[in-house]
Structure 1
């Protein structure tokens, strides 16, 4: 959810063994932490920064790219913050823990890297003005005086790296009720906004050599303290950019009753319409075995109110994030009533 409630963790980075929180545990009690409230007004640039009184937060960027070689690619850059206590702190005693994920996807390969850090020693963090999000030498940096509307982005792993520039040509999008995004029938919720309209250019460094690329990017910002209900075990999240200029975000949170859905329609001029539970329909069309799991990699996605009835297919079905908390994340193509490209994220497939 990228919504993305995405991958959340509680991890000790001291000498003790790592302690983790699975996807289902996002519905556990969050006593002492702040909770999202309907009707809250966002404040910028402050809300581009960290919210240490909330338990869970992320800065989540995906990009669908095409190289000068004519090949399609995908890039992911994510910084997760998780709090052991609702306070900031300094040095090794800070309760604020950080994890970074970076990925580069080609039709044949999926490269993944992960970083973990304590925020209080300067190894990772986010500042709102000027905007900078970093973990080690990975960085998402805003241009001076431009907030998050113009960014430079970099990350590297053992067999890849990338340097990208992003410039937004549309407004921020607030999901749900003016950014209050409900995740269950019991009203679990997060604060959730996006910048879905980046134009992207830069260089991917692959084992075969560098490739210049252009394309589109989508940044999700989300924070909460208890975003899921106790019986929700994972989600299927779609960010779709259509050739018409329209876009949509949609997700299904899986539970014992079948699932809770939400969607946002984004018109070419940036105006939005939020759709309630039941308006979006997603159903798997094909699965593939990835990392010993059967994972749906082709989907039918329908949003009847806007005439959307499309097939979403993975560029690379093996886009498995083999990280501390594994999940599937990768670029997709869109055919049917609308054409285009997007990103798919799936969690909780055991």
Structure 2
């Protein structure tokens, strides 16, 4: 796009990471709605936007295997951020949109970023049928299918992907029925996932087009103050095991031991929420990435589920050099469980 002013606005919203949580997500939520425990999520309504909340995202990652025998990963993310707790039409809307797309190979990491003002048709999300988009990047559902059947596309200067994703299991509500606590002080978000996608399609690299297939995972989250002011970043894991089980887990870092949460997803889709302290995350090795040291090999333990694995980055240089820089990339899992997944790390 040609209109670059949203970069300035988004950076102003970020403020100081250490004073307001990572990317300003610990700032006060004056006037915005606050998640409440006991609120039932409703679908398909909650697949759509929530303009009374300050921030939300539609976040899809996929671990893929190519017909060439190599492993790949893709990311497609649409963020909505509001300047005021209201909606509006056309240029009167306070909604800002930002999107990231990435394609990761064992030896390269391609990415692009898009920015848009809401209300003018350049970006948005609709429910029936589901459609999330910014410019020509699209996550498109089909009439009556909600988000269980999607097509996904994005492209950048040196990459592109087009995938079809079909869910083979139910939605997963994290925390207490989708109310996901993020700190000892009680900050929270609404958070659910569709972690059961099976996907196939094509990726395009500088050397050409490759047919791929694999597993996808969509995260949906919205809040107005999801972090405490002293939380400076997070380490987030979505892991799919060869057994058919899955796990989502994160640690929000602060000056103390941090705050953890995890969801164990059985092969039949049944879930168990694990409280703060149940998940143990230990960095094992770091890589020099974009002038900083970033942990790219981890020990992940969940004793309640006999999980003790090593999680290793497919490509340690999976740095997202975007308006808010962070690390995001596919990982391999070995140890008590074998599998694949995605790792996101912010605030390094």
- Please indicate the TM-score interval, normalised by the length of the shorter structure: over 0.9
Confirm or deny: 8 A CA contact 1:139 1:153 kept in the other structure. yes
Distance in 2 (alpha carbons) for counterparts of 1:15 and 1:333: 37
- How far 1:28 moved relative to its partner? 1.2
Q: Which residue of 1 aligns with 2:196?
A: 197
Alignment of 1:331 with 2:330, yes or no, is yes
Distance in 2 (alpha carbons) for counterparts of 1:130 and 1:24: 32
Distance in 2 (alpha carbons) for counterparts of 1:55 and 1:130: 24
Q: Counterparts of 1:113-152 in structure 2 under 5 Å?
A: 113-152=112-151
- How far 1:25 moved relative to its partner? 2.2
Q: Which residue of 1 aligns with 2:54?
A: 55
SS at match of 1:64: strand
Confirm or deny: 8 A CA contact 1:261 1:280 kept in the other structure. yes
Q: Which residue of 2 aligns with 1:287?
A: 286
Q: Which runs of 5+ in 1 are unaligned?
A: 1-10
- How far 1:214 moved relative to its partner? 0.3
Q: Which residue of 2 aligns with 1:223?
A: 222
Confirm or deny: 8 A CA contact 1:52 1:83 kept in the other structure. yes
Distance in 2 (alpha carbons) for counterparts of 1:87 and 1:232: 27
Q: Counterparts of 1:282-321 in structure 2 under 5 Å?
A: 282-321=281-320
Alignment of 1:19 with 2:12, yes or no, is yes
Confirm or deny: 8 A CA contact 2:11 2:323 kept in the other structure. no
Q: Which runs of 5+ in 2 are unaligned?
A: none
Distance in 2 (alpha carbons) for counterparts of 1:287 and 1:255: 19
In 2 relative to 1, CA 84–198 (structure 1 residues): closer, same or farther, beyond 3 Å? same
Q: Identify which range, 25-34 or 190-199, moves more after superposition.
A: 25-34
Distance in 1 (alpha carbons) for counterparts of 2:83 and 2:218: 26
Q: Which residue of 2 aligns with 1:101?
A: 100
SS at match of 2:119: helix
Distance in 1 (alpha carbons) for counterparts of 2:91 and 2:294: 39
Q: Identify which range, 295-304 or 11-20, moves more after superposition.
A: 11-20
Confirm or deny: 8 A CA contact 1:12 1:19 kept in the other structure. no
CA RMSD in angstroms comes to: 1.3
- How far 1:215 moved relative to its partner? 0.1
- How far 1:13 moved relative to its partner? 2.7
Q: Which residue of 2 aligns with 1:80?
A: 79
Q: Which residue of 1 aligns with 2:160?
A: 161
| 1:287-320 deviation digits (Å, cap 9, x = unpaired) | 0000001000000000000000000000000000
Confirm or deny: 8 A CA contact 1:332 1:341 kept in the other structure. yes
| 1:61-88 deviation digits (Å, cap 9, x = unpaired) | 0000000000000000000000000111
- How far 1:17 moved relative to its partner? 9.3
Distance in 2 (alpha carbons) for counterparts of 1:18 and 1:122: 23
- How far 1:20 moved relative to its partner? 3.9
In 2 relative to 1, CA 24–322 (structure 1 residues): closer, same or farther, beyond 3 Å? closer
Confirm or deny: 8 A CA contact 1:193 1:222 kept in the other structure. yes
Q: Which residue of 2 aligns with 1:3?
A: none
Confirm or deny: 8 A CA contact 1:24 1:230 kept in the other structure. no
Q: Which residue of 1 aligns with 2:91?
A: 92
Confirm or deny: 8 A CA contact 1:12 1:18 kept in the other structure. no
Confirm or deny: 8 A CA contact 2:319 2:328 kept in the other structure. yes
SS at match of 1:92: helix
Distance in 2 (alpha carbons) for counterparts of 1:340 and 1:200: 16
Q: Which residue of 2 aligns with 1:211?
A: 210
SS at match of 2:12: coil
- How far 1:27 moved relative to its partner? 1.1
In 2 relative to 1, CA 126–17 (structure 1 residues): closer, same or farther, beyond 3 Å? closer
Distance in 1 (alpha carbons) for counterparts of 2:251 and 2:121: 36
Distance in 1 (alpha carbons) for counterparts of 2:343 and 2:199: 19
| 1:256-307 deviation digits (Å, cap 9, x = unpaired) | 1121000000000000000000000001000000000100000000000000
